[in-house]
Protein backbone atom coordinates (compact mmCIF):
# COMPACT_ATOMS: atom_id res chain seq x y z
CA UNK A 1 0.00 0.00 0.00
CA UNK A 2 1.29 3.40 -0.95
CA UNK A 3 1.23 6.00 1.88
CA UNK A 4 -0.57 8.32 -0.52
CA UNK A 5 -3.56 5.97 -0.35
CA UNK A 6 -4.04 6.70 3.37
CA UNK A 7 -6.18 9.46 4.81
CA UNK A 8 -4.59 12.86 4.23
CA UNK A 9 -4.57 13.83 7.92
CA UNK A 10 -1.59 12.09 9.60
CA UNK A 11 -2.11 9.97 12.69
CA UNK A 12 1.24 11.12 14.13
CA UNK A 13 2.82 14.47 13.43
CA UNK A 14 6.23 15.43 14.86
CA UNK A 15 7.62 18.94 14.48
CA UNK A 16 11.06 19.99 15.79
CA UNK A 17 10.98 17.18 18.34
CA UNK A 18 14.08 16.63 20.45
CA UNK A 19 14.84 14.31 23.32
CA UNK A 20 17.71 14.73 25.74
CA UNK A 21 19.18 12.59 28.50
CA UNK A 22 21.73 13.28 31.21
CA UNK A 23 24.99 11.44 30.59
CA UNK A 24 27.51 10.06 33.06
CA UNK A 25 29.34 13.38 32.83
CA UNK A 26 26.24 15.16 34.17
CA UNK A 27 25.69 17.03 30.90
CA UNK A 28 22.55 16.89 28.79
CA UNK A 29 22.97 15.05 25.49
CA UNK A 30 20.58 15.14 22.55
CA UNK A 31 19.49 11.62 21.62
CA UNK A 32 16.90 12.60 19.02
CA UNK A 33 16.31 15.65 16.82
CA UNK A 34 13.46 15.24 14.33
CA UNK A 35 12.60 18.32 12.28
CA UNK A 36 9.45 16.80 10.83
CA UNK A 37 7.79 13.39 10.53
CA UNK A 38 4.22 12.42 9.64
CA UNK A 39 2.87 8.88 9.95
CA UNK A 40 -0.40 8.10 8.18
CA UNK A 41 -3.26 6.09 9.62
CA UNK A 42 -2.86 2.49 8.45
CA UNK A 43 0.73 2.96 7.30
CA UNK A 44 3.52 0.47 7.95
CA UNK A 45 6.62 2.59 8.55
CA UNK A 46 10.07 1.06 8.79
CA UNK A 47 12.83 2.66 10.85
CA UNK A 48 16.47 1.77 10.13
CA UNK A 49 19.74 2.94 11.65
CA UNK A 50 22.79 1.86 13.59
CA UNK A 51 22.75 0.98 17.28
CA UNK A 52 22.52 4.11 19.38
CA UNK A 53 21.16 6.21 16.52
CA UNK A 54 17.96 7.16 18.36
CA UNK A 55 15.52 4.56 17.00
CA UNK A 56 14.38 3.25 20.39
CA UNK A 57 14.08 6.81 21.70
CA UNK A 58 11.71 7.57 18.83
CA UNK A 59 9.67 4.48 19.68
CA UNK A 60 9.33 5.51 23.33
CA UNK A 61 8.04 8.91 22.25
CA UNK A 62 5.54 7.33 19.85
CA UNK A 63 4.39 5.01 22.65
CA UNK A 64 3.86 8.03 24.97
CA UNK A 65 6.25 6.48 27.51
CA UNK A 66 8.04 9.82 27.85
CA UNK A 67 7.43 13.35 26.59
CA UNK A 68 9.88 15.08 24.24
CA UNK A 69 12.31 17.62 25.68
CA UNK A 70 11.06 20.14 23.11
CA UNK A 71 8.91 20.38 20.00
CA UNK A 72 5.40 19.24 19.14
CA UNK A 73 4.09 15.68 19.04
CA UNK A 74 0.52 15.31 17.83
CA UNK A 75 -1.58 12.15 17.75
CA UNK A 76 -4.79 12.16 15.74
CA UNK A 77 -4.71 15.96 15.68
CA UNK A 78 -4.30 16.42 19.44
CA UNK A 79 -1.28 17.26 21.59
CA UNK A 80 0.11 13.87 22.61
CA UNK A 81 1.96 15.36 25.58
CA UNK A 82 -1.42 15.97 27.19
CA UNK A 83 -2.79 12.57 26.18
CA UNK A 84 -4.86 10.73 28.78
CA UNK A 85 -5.09 7.01 29.49
CA UNK A 86 -7.69 6.44 26.77
CA UNK A 87 -5.30 7.77 24.12
CA UNK A 88 -2.25 5.94 25.46
CA UNK A 89 -4.17 2.66 25.36
CA UNK A 90 -4.53 2.99 21.60
CA UNK A 91 -0.79 2.36 21.24
CA UNK A 92 1.23 -0.65 22.33
CA UNK A 93 4.96 -1.39 22.09
CA UNK A 94 6.73 -4.72 21.66
CA UNK A 95 10.37 -4.46 22.71
CA UNK A 96 13.22 -6.59 21.41
CA UNK A 97 13.35 -8.67 24.60
CA UNK A 98 9.78 -8.67 25.93
CA UNK A 99 9.19 -9.71 29.50
CA UNK A 100 6.80 -12.59 30.11
CA UNK A 101 5.06 -13.12 33.42
CA UNK A 102 6.03 -16.33 35.17
CA UNK A 103 2.65 -17.78 34.37
CA UNK A 104 0.92 -19.71 31.62
CA UNK A 105 0.71 -18.48 28.04
CA UNK A 106 -3.01 -17.84 28.53
CA UNK A 107 -2.35 -15.71 31.62
CA UNK A 108 0.29 -13.70 29.76
CA UNK A 109 -2.01 -12.94 26.84
CA UNK A 110 -4.97 -12.17 29.12
CA UNK A 111 -3.05 -9.88 31.47
CA UNK A 112 -3.49 -6.64 29.51
CA UNK A 113 -7.17 -7.30 28.87
CA UNK A 114 -7.91 -7.96 32.52
CA UNK A 115 -5.94 -4.89 33.59
CA UNK A 116 -8.28 -2.87 31.37
CA UNK A 117 -11.39 -4.67 32.54
CA UNK A 118 -11.99 -6.14 29.08
CA UNK A 119 -13.19 -9.54 27.94
CA UNK A 120 -10.48 -12.19 28.24
CA UNK A 121 -12.50 -15.09 26.85
CA UNK A 122 -10.88 -18.28 25.62
CA UNK A 123 -11.88 -17.50 22.03
CA UNK A 124 -10.22 -14.07 22.10
CA UNK A 125 -6.98 -15.48 23.52
CA UNK A 126 -7.05 -18.32 20.99
CA UNK A 127 -7.54 -15.87 18.12
CA UNK A 128 -4.47 -13.89 19.18
CA UNK A 129 -2.34 -17.05 19.25
CA UNK A 130 -3.60 -18.09 15.85
CA UNK A 131 -2.51 -14.70 14.50
CA UNK A 132 1.09 -15.59 15.34
CA UNK A 133 0.66 -19.14 14.05
CA UNK A 134 0.75 -20.93 17.41
CA UNK A 135 -1.81 -23.67 18.09
CA UNK A 136 -4.05 -22.57 21.01
CA UNK A 137 -4.75 -26.18 22.01
CA UNK A 138 -1.03 -26.74 22.40
CA UNK A 139 0.12 -23.39 23.79
CA UNK A 140 -2.56 -21.74 25.94
CA UNK A 141 -1.87 -23.97 28.96
CA UNK A 142 1.91 -24.02 28.55
CA UNK A 143 3.98 -22.39 31.30
CA UNK A 144 6.29 -19.59 30.27
CA UNK A 145 9.44 -21.65 30.88
CA UNK A 146 8.47 -24.21 28.23
CA UNK A 147 8.72 -21.72 25.38
CA UNK A 148 11.62 -21.36 22.99
CA UNK A 149 12.96 -17.87 22.29
CA UNK A 150 10.96 -17.60 19.08
CA UNK A 151 7.79 -18.90 20.74
CA UNK A 152 8.18 -16.43 23.61
CA UNK A 153 8.50 -13.55 21.13
CA UNK A 154 5.37 -14.69 19.33
CA UNK A 155 3.44 -15.03 22.60
CA UNK A 156 4.52 -11.50 23.55
CA UNK A 157 3.27 -10.27 20.17
CA UNK A 158 -0.03 -12.10 20.69
CA UNK A 159 -0.37 -10.33 24.05
CA UNK A 160 -0.22 -7.01 22.16
CA UNK A 161 -2.47 -8.09 19.29
CA UNK A 162 -5.20 -9.25 21.67
CA UNK A 163 -5.58 -5.62 22.79
CA UNK A 164 -6.51 -4.66 19.20
CA UNK A 165 -4.43 -1.48 19.33
CA UNK A 166 -4.76 1.34 16.85
CA UNK A 167 -0.95 1.55 16.66
CA UNK A 168 1.52 -1.31 17.09
CA UNK A 169 5.17 -0.39 17.62
CA UNK A 170 7.69 -3.19 17.06
CA UNK A 171 11.33 -2.80 18.13
CA UNK A 172 13.47 -5.47 16.41
CA UNK A 173 10.60 -8.01 16.31
CA UNK A 174 12.57 -10.65 14.38
CA UNK A 175 15.98 -10.29 16.04
CA UNK A 176 17.45 -13.77 16.69
CA UNK A 177 14.32 -15.49 15.34
CA UNK A 178 14.42 -18.47 13.03
CA UNK A 179 12.84 -18.38 9.58
CA UNK A 180 9.49 -19.84 10.70
CA UNK A 181 9.10 -17.37 13.58
CA UNK A 182 10.06 -14.43 11.34
CA UNK A 183 7.47 -15.55 8.81
CA UNK A 184 4.85 -15.84 11.58
CA UNK A 185 5.57 -12.29 12.75
CA UNK A 186 5.32 -11.03 9.16
CA UNK A 187 2.00 -12.80 8.69
CA UNK A 188 0.64 -11.39 11.96
CA UNK A 189 1.51 -7.75 11.30
CA UNK A 190 0.30 -7.75 7.70
CA UNK A 191 -2.96 -9.43 8.75
CA UNK A 192 -3.39 -6.85 11.50
CA UNK A 193 -3.07 -3.97 9.04
CA UNK A 194 -5.25 -5.62 6.40
CA UNK A 195 -8.12 -6.61 8.70
CA UNK A 196 -8.06 -3.84 11.30
CA UNK A 197 -6.28 -0.95 9.60
CA UNK A 198 -3.63 -0.97 12.32
CA UNK A 199 -0.78 1.52 11.97
CA UNK A 200 2.62 -0.10 12.44
CA UNK A 201 6.08 1.33 13.09
CA UNK A 202 8.82 -1.28 12.87
CA UNK A 203 12.48 -0.89 13.87
CA UNK A 204 14.73 -3.55 12.38
CA UNK A 205 18.31 -4.20 11.31
CA UNK A 206 17.00 -6.78 8.83
CA UNK A 207 16.65 -4.45 5.86
CA UNK A 208 15.37 -7.17 3.53
CA UNK A 209 12.56 -8.10 5.94
CA UNK A 210 11.82 -4.41 6.50
CA UNK A 211 11.57 -3.69 2.77
CA UNK A 212 9.27 -6.66 2.37
CA UNK A 213 6.65 -5.57 4.92
CA UNK A 214 6.73 -1.75 5.03
CA UNK A 215 5.27 1.02 2.88
CA UNK A 216 8.36 3.20 3.34
CA UNK A 217 11.53 3.30 5.40
CA UNK A 218 13.17 6.21 7.18
CA UNK A 219 16.77 6.09 8.39
CA UNK A 220 18.02 7.70 11.58
CA UNK A 221 21.67 8.59 12.11
CA UNK A 222 22.96 10.28 15.26
CA UNK A 223 19.43 11.20 16.27
CA UNK A 224 18.49 12.81 12.96
CA UNK A 225 16.49 11.58 9.98
CA UNK A 226 18.53 11.17 6.81
What proportion of the chain, given as a percentage, has pLDDT over 90?
A: 83
Of 96, 198, 203, 196, the residue nearest 156 (C-alpha): 96
Cα torsion at 100, 105, 110, 112 (round to 10°)? 10
Of 43, 38, 35, 39, the residue nearest 5 (C-alpha): 43
The pLDDT, as a whole number, for residue 24 is 84
Backbone angles phi, psi at 104, to 5 degrees: -75, 165
Cβ contacts of 179 within 8 Å, gap of 6 or more: none
pLDDT digits (tens, 9 = 90+) for 45-54: 999 999 999 9
CATH code that applies to domain 3-21+31-225: 3.40.50.300
What proportion of the chain, given as a percentage, has pLDDT over 70?
A: 97
* pLDDT under 70: residue ranges of the chain: 1-7
The pLDDT, as a whole number, for residue 101 is 95
The pLDDT, as a whole number, for residue 145 is 95
Cβ(83)–Cβ(30) below 8 Å: no
Q: Where are the domains of the chain?
A: 3-21+31-225
The pLDDT, as a whole number, for residue 87 is 87
Of 115, 191, 213, 193, the residue nearest 159 (C-alpha): 115
Amino acid sequence: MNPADHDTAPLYSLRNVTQQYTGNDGARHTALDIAGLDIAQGEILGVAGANGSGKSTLMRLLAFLEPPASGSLFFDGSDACAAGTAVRRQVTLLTQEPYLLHRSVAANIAYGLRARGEDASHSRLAEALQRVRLDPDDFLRRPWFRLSGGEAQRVALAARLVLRPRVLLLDEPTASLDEDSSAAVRHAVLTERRERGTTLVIVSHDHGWLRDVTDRIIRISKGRME
